[in-house]
Structure 1
Amino acid sequence: MSADSLKDEIQNSQDKHEEDIPRSSPFDFVIKQFQGKRSSLGKRKEQPSDIKKFFRSFDFGKSEGKDRNEIEETELNNSGSDDQIEKQDLSVEDGLSHLISEVESPSGEQRFNQFMQKLGKDASSKNLDLNNCALSAADVTELASLLPFLPELEEISLSWNSCVGGTLKALTVHLHHVNQLKVLRLNSCRLTAEDVTSLDTALQHLPQLRKLDISCNKEIGGGFKDSTAHLASLKNLEVLDLHQCCVTEEDVANLSQVIPLLSSLQELNLSSNKNIGVSSEPLLGRLRFLPKLKSVAISNCGLGEASLSSLAEAALHLPELEILDLSWNKCVGGNLKLLLGALKLATKIQVLRLSSCNLVAEDLALLTLLRQDGHLAQLQKLDLSYNNNASDEGWVVFCQGLAGFKELSELDVSLRPSSCRDCGTWFSDLLAALTKLPALADLGMQRWVLSESQRKRLECFNQDNKRNIRFDC
């Protein structure tokens, strides 16, 4: 082979080798750029539109025949697709964040336990006792948010927390979550009339409520004007305590329509509401429709003779009566005979309170005559304190008949704090009666002045008679 032919063969071989090596083009460069971008975005899949955007600034000779509006529309569509992808990515991220937040946040039970621990109280799923805990308005709001997690709650006690007043609505709007509630105590919480209106709205969700105590809230007067409709729905209510609530005459009118409908009511406390006695509405007379009543407290209600007569007539229809409190109603003095018929029929009565009623000798004699006739046989507690107008003769008659009260465990004949009086001849009759009262454990005789010999007899009584009576002298 000649040198020239050998040179030609080598050249041909080199040319063939170069043809076998793939050559890079501008398009290959673009593809590599977008492949890098894809890897940096993780799972996001690039769209062909990304490549088209790169060439959008170049003119390949085909754009001249294309309408500009069509190009702009395509750009908008492509942009919309990208935005949609970004939104989907954000949606996924938000979902994950929300899921993580739910996992990390405490459960309702944990929140409740933390709340009770903060107040130094034991957590109970059935009894929420926060009496006198100096709750703040924020605490009441937080407590309200926890009620949906306490479906088994049976008792709520928030008494003696003044900040509850004015913020009760935040709590009552959630009471439907605790429809098994049986006891609700809100006494001395500085409730307002508006608060009472909002407790009323919630009552329709508490069919199992047995006890409602909103006593000692002096600013709720007038709150019963339009807020007693749902009170009548509490067919299982057994205890209603409204003492010292400054109810108005209009409140009395509304309550006189509703209270007689509480067919299961056993205890009613209306004490320290002066308008109960002076109102023309027959609230006390309508108690006759509550035959299950066991306790009636209308102390310090400004009763007059007419209202006392209404009560006496109603009491004739209360065969289950065990407790009657008429203290601090001056009209009772000299008029106890109006209750004679009711006291004769009250075979189950155990507590009779007639403190500061201006009792006279005739009233004391009436009590002993009732017992001699076989009535008041179950009487255990008799309060005759602060009746300074009763004469010594009246106390003599009473003490002579006292031995008949065999079940009596507490007796109080103390005088008013501002007075003192010598213990008369009835003292000997009193000691003689005490020997025949085996159940007596407490005798109140404050501000009765005992002579030296009387004091010694009293001091030796327990030892001589093997008794353990507490003498409060």
Structure 2
Amino acid sequence: MSQTRKKTSSEGETKPQTSSVNKFLRGSKAESRKENNDLKTTDSQPSNWIQKTAPSETAKPLSSEMELRSSMEKYEQFLQKLGKKAVNKCLDLNNCGLTTADMKDMVALLPFLPDLEELDISWNDFVGGTLHSITQQMHLVSKLKILRLGSCRLTTDDVQALGEALEMIPELEELNLSWNSKVGGNLPLILQKFQKGSKIQMLKLVDCTLTSEDGTFLGQLLPMLQSLEVLDLSINRDIGGSLNSIAQGLKSTSNLKVLKLHSCGLSQKSVKILDAAFRYLAELRKLDLSCNKDLGGGFEDSSAQLVMLKHLQVLDLHQCSLTADDVMSLTFALLAWKGAWKQESPSSMLGRWLVCAQVIPLLSNLQELDLSANKKMGNSSENLLSRLRFLPALKSLVINNCALESETFTALASVIQMGHLAKLRKLDLSYNDSICDAGWTMFCQNVRFLKELIELDISLRPSNFRDCGQWFRHLLCAVIKLPQITEIGMKRWILPASQEEELECFDQDKKRSIHFDHGGFQ
């Protein structure tokens, strides 16, 4: 480090040159742990991390190069001990097995990190009961934008201390408190400091044992969170009772892009309640209502607003006990016709079909559709799959364990052959054991048209083993013509000796790596 020092013109104080710190803190954004969100932080020169340290009541500004070097050495040793690397403006200690002593060391370092924007200490059990030591220092990291405390065994005292500290970090954009059961019943204590104009963009409260009262409070809070883009309340089975309040609050979150209500105790009535809110969520990209087993029957006459989500890219309805009439309504959710929806009674399925000539494609931006584990949809899935042609952007289709029939595969093979699923990359048809060999043959003869397919799964359920038919040869011929495919799931299909030899020859002759996941043929 250069020993050159410059005097300030006003006070004559000396400032240490920080070029030696640059190499240590020269972390890029690419190194930071990245989740599936669009949040961005602004890069600055790594040396700013220390150079801008401000005086406070609890920490004195660094006054010498020796103190600077000492603090950096301690920081470097701390990260090396935990197997972590320095990343600009980010302190990621996720799943590091932090001890009580580690927590004390981390707290001691916070005064030297005034430009910290991301703090992740998720999945560390010993955080619980000690969070107050961190929250007391929050005023020193007031530029914090991302705070992740998932699965930290937070106590009631912890969540109360957090609620008081959130006022100290007005720039906060992401808060993740998932998998902390003590959050439940205490949500108002945590979020009470959020005011209108809050910059929060992502709020994750997965499996927090939220109560119906928590849901009511959240519904009242949502109108203040105008910047909110991601809301995940999954695995909170008691909030279904306060869905009216939540849905009312959602009407004010026009910027919301992701809504996850996986396993939240939703019912048939919940679909109608949410349907009224969908018209206000024009920017929604991802909707997850999966694993709500009492939803079955709710879509029969309540998908009118769902089709208005024209920017929707991901729709997850797996394990929702969908009925045949639900599937029929969802089929028509892919289409709209001029005035016909209002003219026809929801129960008049024949009337709906009669006006099918005048159609306008909707949900045309949908990229991922998951309808798996809905066994009652088997009889009506033919009509739904035949209308996949109205989803030109579809990249992932998951319909495993749906009791599909051979007629369904015929409809899927007309759609594939016509090139309507040209962008499909993932196709999961597993656990549909009722498909006969003729159905598999029809499918395998046409799968070659899925030129961008990467992953295909046709495995049988664990309790079933079945001899592989002649369709396997058609599959091998098709795979040769699929330039992108790398994974084919075929668990519990039994190959005769002749077909095993064909597969061995295919493995030897092919010029690229394709993994047939069969788990050992029997």
Q: TM-score, normalised by structure 1?
A: 0.73
Distance 1:461 1:261 in 2: 53
**Residue aligning to 1:271:** 290
Match of 2:259, SS state, is strand
Tell me if structure 2 keeps the 8 A contact 1:442–1:469: yes
State the 1:362 CA deviation.
1.2
Distance 2:255 2:389 in 1: 29
State the 1:295 CA deviation.
1.1
Tell me if structure 1 keeps the 8 A contact 2:312–2:366: yes
Distance 1:165 1:470 in 2: 44
Q: Does 1:311 pair with 2:330?
A: yes
Match of 1:240, SS state, is strand
**Residue aligning to 1:353:** 398
State the 1:463 CA deviation.
3.0
* Residues 310, 359 of structure 1: alpha-carbon distance in 2 compared, 3 angstrom cutoff: same
* Residues 280, 433 of structure 1: alpha-carbon distance in 2 compared, 3 angstrom cutoff: closer
Q: Structure 2 matches for 1:112-151, cutoff 5 A?
A: 113=110, 119=127, 125-151=144-170
Deviations 1:27-79 (A, max 9, x none): xxxxxxxxxxxxxxxxxxxxxxxxxxxxxxxxxxxxxxxxxxxxxxxxxxxxx
Q: Does 1:469 pair with 2:514?
A: yes
State the 1:281 CA deviation.
7.0
Tell me if structure 1 keeps the 8 A contact 2:256–2:281: yes
**Residue aligning to 1:43:** none
**Residue aligning to 2:198:** 179
Distance 2:387 2:381 in 1: 11
* Residues 188, 458 of structure 1: alpha-carbon distance in 2 compared, 3 angstrom cutoff: farther
Tell me if structure 2 keeps the 8 A contact 1:252–1:281: no
State the 1:298 CA deviation.
0.9
**Residue aligning to 1:384:** 429
Kindly indicate which of the two structures has a greater share of residues assigned to helix. 1
Distance 1:245 1:202 in 2: 19
Letter of the 2:276 counterpart:
Q
Tell me if structure 2 keeps the 8 A contact 1:284–1:307: no
State the 1:451 CA deviation.
2.7
**Residue aligning to 1:335:** 380
Distance 2:273 2:228 in 1: 21
Tell me if structure 1 keeps the 8 A contact 2:275–2:304: no
Deviations 1:185-239 (A, max 9, x none): 1111121211111122221111011111111112222121333221110000011
Distance 2:157 2:435 in 1: 54
Tell me if structure 1 keeps the 8 A contact 2:196–2:225: no
Match of 2:203, SS state, is strand
* Residues 237, 426 of structure 1: alpha-carbon distance in 2 compared, 3 angstrom cutoff: same
Task: Note the residue ranges of structure 1 that are not aligned, 5 or more in a row.
Answer: 1-102
**Residue aligning to 1:87:** none
Deviations 1:118-140 (A, max 9, x none): 83999771111112222222111
Distance 1:281 1:471 in 2: 40
Distance 1:376 1:245 in 2: 32
Q: Structure 2 matches for 1:281-430, cutoff 5 A?
A: 282-316=301-335, 317-340=362-385, 342-430=387-475
Match of 1:194, SS state, is helix
* Residues 277, 179 of structure 1: alpha-carbon distance in 2 compared, 3 angstrom cutoff: same
- In angstroms, what is the RMSD of aligned CA positions? 2.8
**Residue aligning to 2:266:** 247
Q: Does 1:164 pair with 2:183?
A: yes
Q: Does 1:439 pair with 2:458?
A: no
State the 1:177 CA deviation.
7.5
State the 1:374 CA deviation.
2.3
Q: Does 1:212 pair with 2:257?
A: no
**Residue aligning to 1:154:** 173
Distance 2:324 2:423 in 1: 27
Tell me if structure 2 keeps the 8 A contact 1:241–1:270: yes
Letter of the 2:153 counterpart:
A
**Residue aligning to 1:3:** none
State the 1:341 CA deviation.
5.9
* Residues 281, 402 of structure 1: alpha-carbon distance in 2 compared, 3 angstrom cutoff: closer
Distance 1:173 1:137 in 2: 15
Deviations 1:283-332 (A, max 9, x none): 33321121111111111111112211111111222111111111111233
Letter of the 1:193 counterpart:
S
Tell me if structure 1 keeps the 8 A contact 2:149–2:176: yes
1:457 to 502, 508, 514: 502
Task: Note the residue ranges of structure 2 that are not aligned, 5 or more in a row.
Answer: 1-55, 61-106, 112-118, 135-140, 336-361
Match of 2:240, SS state, is coil
Tell me if structure 2 keeps the 8 A contact 1:292–1:320: yes
Letter of the 1:461 counterpart:
F
Tell me if structure 2 keeps the 8 A contact 1:419–1:447: yes
Match of 1:296, SS state, is strand
Match of 1:218, SS state, is coil
Distance 1:387 1:341 in 2: 18
Tell me if structure 1 keeps the 8 A contact 2:385–2:412: no
Letter of the 1:396 counterpart:
T
Letter of the 1:319 counterpart:
S
Distance 1:356 1:112 in 2: 52
Q: Which has the larger radius of gyration?
A: 1
Distance 1:162 1:458 in 2: 50
Number of residue pairs the alignment of both structures matches? 371
State the 1:390 CA deviation.
0.6
Letter of the 1:404 counterpart:
F
Deviations 1:408-445 (A, max 9, x none): 00100011111111111111111111111110011111
State the 1:159 CA deviation.
1.4
Distance 1:303 1:112 in 2: 53
State the 1:280 CA deviation.
6.8
Distance 1:339 1:329 in 2: 13
Distance 1:111 1:225 in 2: 45
Tell me if structure 2 keeps the 8 A contact 1:361–1:390: yes
Q: Tell which deviates more after alignment, 146-155 or 245-254.
A: 245-254
Tell me if structure 2 keeps the 8 A contact 1:334–1:362: no
Distance 1:267 1:343 in 2: 18
Deviations 1:343-370 (A, max 9, x none): 1111111111111111111111211111
Match of 1:411, SS state, is strand
* Residues 401, 116 of structure 1: alpha-carbon distance in 2 compared, 3 angstrom cutoff: closer
Identity of aligned residues (%): 40
